[in-house]
């Protein structure tokens, strides 16, 4: 099964990569083990979003730009309002990356 590596670019993923780099530099783990940890991270994040996240939100605003490449959609919106069960949120810019679920199950 293929797991997307998008979440490595998030705060948690970047902190994990930094920590693994420090461990490699200190000689505590091998680069091969670090790669295995990152692959397990990808699997775990994918599993968490698939099985545990049930939140829904409504996004209102005009679409600024979009792109579709390699089964990955990217949408960029300016000044959207996001409405969820916690109430509305206003942000300056929103980037949404959506991956084809069928492609990740191959």
Tens of pLDDT along 44-103?
A: 998 888 898 888 889 888 888 999 988 889 999 999 999 988 889 888 999 998 877 665
Using 50, 70 and 90 to split pLDDT, how confident is the model at 16? Answer: very high
Does residue 106 lie within any of the structural domains?
Answer: no
Where do the H-state alpha helices sit in the chain? Answer: 11-25, 31-51, 101-104
Q: Do 37 and 63 sit in the same domain of this protein?
A: no
C-alpha angle 15-17-20 in degrees, rounded to nearest 5: 110
Q: Do 63 and 79 sit in the same domain of this protein?
A: yes
Using 50, 70 and 90 to split pLDDT, how confident is the model at 106? Answer: very low
pLDDT above 80 for 17? yes
Does residue 37 lie within any of the structural domains?
Answer: yes
DSSP-derived letter for residue 4 is -
Q: Do 32 and 63 sit in the same domain of this protein?
A: no
Number of domains in the chain: 2
CATH number at residue 14: 1.10.287.190
Q: Find, among 72, 74, 68, the residue nearest to 99 by Cα.
A: 72
Q: Do 47 and 62 sit in the same domain of this protein?
A: no
Domain of residue 90, residue span: 58-101
Query: Strand, helix or coil at 56?
Result: coil
Does residue 43 lie within any of the structural domains?
Answer: yes
Pairing of strands 72-78, 81-84: unpaired
Does residue 80 lie within any of the structural domains?
Answer: yes
Does residue 1 lie within any of the structural domains?
Answer: no
CATH number at residue 86: 2.30.18.10
């Amino acid at each position: 099964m293929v797991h997307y590596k998008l979440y490595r670019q998030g705060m948690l993923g970047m902190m994990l990569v930094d920590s693994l780099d420090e461990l490699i530099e200190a000689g505590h783990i091998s680069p091969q083990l670090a790669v295995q940890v990152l692959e397990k991270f990808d699997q775990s994040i994918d599993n968490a979003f698939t099985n545990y996240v049930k939140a829904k939100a409504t996004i209102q605003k005009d679409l600024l730009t979009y792109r579709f490449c390699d089964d990955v959609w990217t949408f960029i919106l300016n000044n959207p309002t996001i409405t969820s069960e916690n109430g509305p949120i206003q942000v300056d810019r929103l980037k949404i990356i959506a991956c084809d679920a069928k492609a990740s199950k191959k």
